[in-house]
Amino acid sequence: MNASSRQRRLTAAALTALAVAVSATACSSGSGSTDTKGAAGGTYTIWDPYPQFDKSSAWTKLLDQCGTKAGVKIKRTGFDTGDLGNKTLLAAQQGNSPDILIVDNPVVSTLAEAGVLTTTAENKLDTSKVDPNLLAAGQSGGKTYGTPIGANTLALYYNKKVLKEAGVDIATVKDWTSLTAALAKVEKAGKKGITFSAIGTEEGSFQFLPWFWGSGAELTELDSSQAVSALSLWKDWLTKGYAPNSVLNNTQTTSWQEFIGGDYAFGENGTWQLAGAGKAGLDYGVLPVPATTGGSASAPTGGEFMTVPVQRDTGRYATSEKLANCLTSTDNLYNTDTTLSYVAPTGEVQDKQVAANAGLKPWVDAVKAAKGRTSDDLGTKYPKISEQLWKAVQSALSGSKSPKDALTSAQAAVK
């Protein structure tokens, strides 16, 4: 398919799906690539969702180094995550796409289905070392549209002091039954059990998914008995006082603030809070979210994909490939993912991260069990499913509907 025919597929529906897909993240303006002097030189444009990094940052310096290695200059623009997808769609409509686009993983399938991105078969990105569960977030219709530069996910932070005072041995927390028993002990000891985010946005779905998937449920069947058991678990925690009613309005940030206050035994949150956990001075540990009968539940993957947008001048792809493969090389991945508090997408770099920081081991385990929100070839169907899922969670936790009725309504709305 040529660039002009792809661009005709950029529709209002794609813009709408994208707006939902980027409404929450785990984590200015510019112009696209208009330099058509060929692959051997000139300026190459990179867009990323890291506006916090200025020209003096290690990230920007790495981009420049890879540009120098490829014999080109780099023009880099950092956007807020919520703006990046829409600006990419508009740039593609104008034939003005960046050469390299680094974008939140749920957005990849939307951009791919809109015809904005080249496949790895076309752009020659090397994905051979990437963990398959992480690569799946960038796949749609049997094709792969990029490579992850890093991943984050959710797990349970726990406060060792609170658990000790309640007489809870964290080694006994292996499944939903033992976790709930631990919460009961904590509540009986006069402390608070668990906090999380159940807000009526993508953040709420993101936080519910480990429990949803941990029950054995699938996003194609929101009203399954397994799904009902997951929502019933959360509802029961609120009813018994093991979780606060504030979860209905909690973002992941406000939920985190509750946890680091020091009274909660558990807080569901992400890899990106590691720096804050250290600064808070808590004696904490990390436990992958348990599945209903034990083992690690699949938590949703966060993190970005490196992609190569469609260009009118296809001669640019060879240099884009050099840039992308430089940025995702083993040495550069280690430095980048350490800077961004990401778990690397390859086993080789994950081992290097754990060797340098043993505290990352639970996060590596969680990422290995993680799952892309758009995996299972859901693609642009995911935003609609997610919206109905967070609405069901809100309805059940607020008491307006039973978990079963809330999820039955959700499934009917998706169909």
pLDDT tens digits, residue range 219-228? 999 999 999 9
Do 173 and 279 sit in the same domain of this protein?
Answer: yes
Do 25 and 88 sit in the same domain of this protein?
Answer: yes
How many domains are contained in the chain?
2
Do 241 and 137 sit in the same domain of this protein?
Answer: no
Distance CA 372, CA 28 (A): 28
Residue pair 92/107 in contact (Cβ under 8 Å)? The answer is: no
pTM, two decimals, is 0.81
Do 123 and 161 sit in the same domain of this protein?
Answer: no
pLDDT at 10: 47
Q: Residue 98: inside a domain, yes or no?
A: yes
pLDDT at 339: 77
Do 63 and 210 sit in the same domain of this protein?
Answer: no
Do 55 and 158 sit in the same domain of this protein?
Answer: no
Residue pair 125/326 in contact (Cβ under 8 Å)? The answer is: no
Interstrand relation of 73-78 and 43-48 (parallel, antiparallel or unpaired): parallel
- Those residues of the chain that have pLDDT short of 50 are 1-17, 19-38
Residue 80 one-letter amino acid: D
pLDDT at 341: 81
- Helices (DSSP H) in 50-201: which residue ranges? 58-70, 81-93, 105-113, 120-123, 132-135, 160-165, 176-188
pLDDT at 151: 93
Q: Residue 373: inside a domain, yes or no?
A: no
Distance CA 126, CA 120 (A): 8
Q: Residue 170: inside a domain, yes or no?
A: yes
pLDDT at 35: 42
Do 242 and 386 sit in the same domain of this protein?
Answer: yes
pLDDT at 40: 57
pLDDT at 36: 41
pLDDT at 408: 98
Find tokens 């280690």 and name the residue.
334
Do 344 and 279 sit in the same domain of this protein?
Answer: no
Do 277 and 327 sit in the same domain of this protein?
Answer: no
Do 191 and 278 sit in the same domain of this protein?
Answer: yes
3-state secondary structure of 23: coil
Q: Residue 390: inside a domain, yes or no?
A: yes
The parent domain of residue 23 ranges over: 3-152+303-368
pLDDT at 52: 86
Do 15 and 144 sit in the same domain of this protein?
Answer: yes
Q: Residue 88: inside a domain, yes or no?
A: yes
What's the CATH code of the domain at 224?
Answer: 3.40.190.10
* Count of helix runs (H) and strand runs (E) in the chain: 19, 11
Do 194 and 163 sit in the same domain of this protein?
Answer: yes
